[in-house]
Amino acid sequence: MKRVNAVVIGAGAAGGIVAKELSTAGLSVVLLERGKWYTSNDCRKDDLRNQRTTLLGNAFGPPDEGNPRVWVDGKGISHIALPSEGDYQNNAACVGGGTLSYGAQAWRYLPQDFRMRSTYGVPAGSSLEDWPISYDDLEPFYVKAEYEIGISGDDSATPFRGPRSRDLPMPPLPVNREFGILEPAAKRLGLHPINIPMARNSIPYNGRGPCMRCRWCCGFACEVDAKNGSQNTVIPIALASGNCEMRTECMVKKILMDDRGRAHGISYFDADGRLQEQLSDIVVVSACAIESARLLLNSKSRLFPAGIGNRYDQVGRNLQGHHYTGAVGYFDFETYDDIGPGASIAVTDYNHGTPGLCGGGMLANEFIRLPIHSLDRLPTNTPRWGLGHKHAMRNYHKRTIVVIGPTQQIPTEHARVTVDASVKDKWGLPVARLQGNCHPHTFEIGDVQARRAQTWLKEAGAVDTSLMTSRPEVRPELIEASQHQAGTCRMGNDPRSSVVNRDCQIHEVDNVFVIDSSVNVTNGGFNPALTIMAVAYFASESLVRNWKGTGFRS
């Protein structure tokens, strides 16, 4: 196969952007994706089989057959998890990655989120750290992501946001009924509610129409292609540049290293299961936090016996996601109008600044719900089955508001991804092994956040409420990585405590890059997609700049 300048592994939020930035800058690029390329015709509207509710499997990969992972419980016992099971911590495996089927909240992190150690110190037992880049470094790239991907919303009503050099390109969608109920209550509490920024067209944008407010949103591919991910924005541009070839259903086996300690390409299994090699000047790993770490750890060679970037045993550590907590409010009138995307209003007042707490998180009303989501969100005294449960479903499905938020996790180095040589996937590659938990302080913050959500709902007129919290006593092995997984190839200046530098370049191998959520030092109290995209633009720019300067050609 013809040698190319760059191989990009993974066509998700970050990989799509890297492929577009490199190919339009004139580099030849091969973009590899292990999953398929779905379109809006694959919405399917299946409430039991989608990327959010996976009772009958997940819709956008990976399939349950041949893709196991291992997770380790609180007693140290290993278990097999399938992709449709929660302990697998699945994101997605398809062109677009998580951005094909995400809810599409498109938040900027706050300036403090990049300076967690400086702001709060280091809680004992945690690996809390500052990013080597600041909000100000990323701000121009947040703007670029907001305009190239296409973000609607309006966050101007809150002082709890970073400086913004340009407004969002699209106004928010018209608000739903829950917004109308929650907004005055938030203002009475002295909060600053805003219209959630969303990667979703509210007006025609980028050649596609606006959201039609349907029920099949978070977890589904958008039927009218109004939801913006890498699959319908940057990847088509990359392909149209003439410099990028995308190969789907290709699983990368390992990164190939030469005798001088530089990468010279990758080997992968193509769609027919044949082992192929693709030689390249640089390799960009964008396979999401768990699979990126797995690939680096599986890429063992003479000079790198523990895997690439792993000289100081850092690859795979600091696995984190978000600790979701909140509250359910029950009302004596209909609160639910069944208009998508559902999530509409949020407050960022609680992300920082509470004495005694290292951070916090955003709180928002929940995405549109299907009946299957209401089953376990009924008032606490509801019978678990029988007529009482049926009547509660009838009473409360449309008289409920859920306020929930992603509490920023306090990372530890013990929550980690390793590889398990005793369990192989269908290509014969050792699978990812997940273990550990986030720092206990995370749960204290989460509990405070849940009570804040409860207070908001009561102020809005809820006649009853119940808390949504999960505690480590219940599940000591509670990793919450899944779609928001991050942190496993930490960005930093010190090679002994991080994997990549501020340009997402692996410290010890200067032509291998990790560009995805793996590099997030901390994960903010927000959905991470827009930050992943901004970091991808930031890293791509420095990559292209360095390419033009010195070249990475070996």
Shortest distance, position 481 Cβ to another protein, whole Å:
24
Nearer to another protein, 391 or 424 (CB): 391
Nearer to another protein, 46 or 459 (CB): 46
**Sign of torsion, CA 127 129 131 132?**
negative
Shortest distance, position 214 Cβ to another protein, whole Å:
3
Nearer to another protein, 195 or 243 (CB): 195
Residue 486 and residue 518: Cα distance in Å, rounded?
5
Residue 527 and residue 531: Cα distance in Å, rounded?
9
Nearer to another protein, 63 or 440 (CB): 63
Nearer to another protein, 397 or 507 (CB): 397
Nearer to another protein, 184 or 204 (CB): 204
Q: What angle do CA 524, 525, 531 make, to 5 degrees?
A: 45
List residues bridging with 115 in a β-sheet.
Answer: 130
Shortest distance, position 401 Cβ to another protein, whole Å:
16
E strand residue ranges, 29-167: 29-32, 69-72, 78-81, 152-154
Tokens of 498: 């991080």
Nearer to another protein, 124 or 474 (CB): 474
Tokens of 36: 């398929």
Residue 350 and residue 301: Cα distance in Å, rounded?
47
CB atoms < 10 A from the CB of 52, how many?
18
Nearer to another protein, 212 or 421 (CB): 212
Shortest distance, position 235 Cβ to another protein, whole Å:
21
- Cα radius of gyration rounded to whole Å, the chain: 22
Nearer to another protein, 385 or 550 (CB): 385
Shortest distance, position 243 Cβ to another protein, whole Å:
31
Q: Which residues bind another protein (CB under 8 A)?
A: 45-48, 55-57, 203-204, 208-210, 212-216, 223-224, 338-340, 371-372, 374-375, 384-387, 389-391, 393-394, 397-398
Single out the residue of 27, 1, 65, 24 nearest to residue 513, CA to CA: 27
Q: What is the SS3 assignment for 205?
A: strand
- Let me know if 355 is exposed, middle or buried by CB neighbors in 10 A (0-12, 13-18, 19+): exposed
Answer whether 286's CB lies under 8 Å from 14's CB: yes
Nearer to another protein, 352 or 369 (CB): 369
Cα 273 from chain centroid (whole Å): 29
Instruction: Give the 3-state DSSP-derived string for 359-415, with helices as H, strands as E and coil as C.
Output: CCCCEEECCCCCHHHHCCCCCCCCCCCCHHHHHHHHHHCCCEEEEEEEEECCCCCCC
List residues bridging with 7 in a β-sheet.
Answer: 30, 283
Shortest distance, position 343 Cβ to another protein, whole Å:
16
Shortest distance, position 221 Cβ to another protein, whole Å:
14
Nearer to another protein, 150 or 193 (CB): 150
Shortest distance, position 233 Cβ to another protein, whole Å:
17
Shortest distance, position 334 Cβ to another protein, whole Å:
8
Shortest distance, position 385 Cβ to another protein, whole Å:
4
Residue 107 and residue 87: Cα distance in Å, rounded?
26
Residue 520, CA distances (Å) to 108, 129, 198, 276, 499 in order: 13, 10, 21, 31, 11
Helices (H), 87-230: 116-120, 135-145, 177-188
Shortest distance, position 55 Cβ to another protein, whole Å:
6
Residue 274 and residue 66: Cα distance in Å, rounded?
16
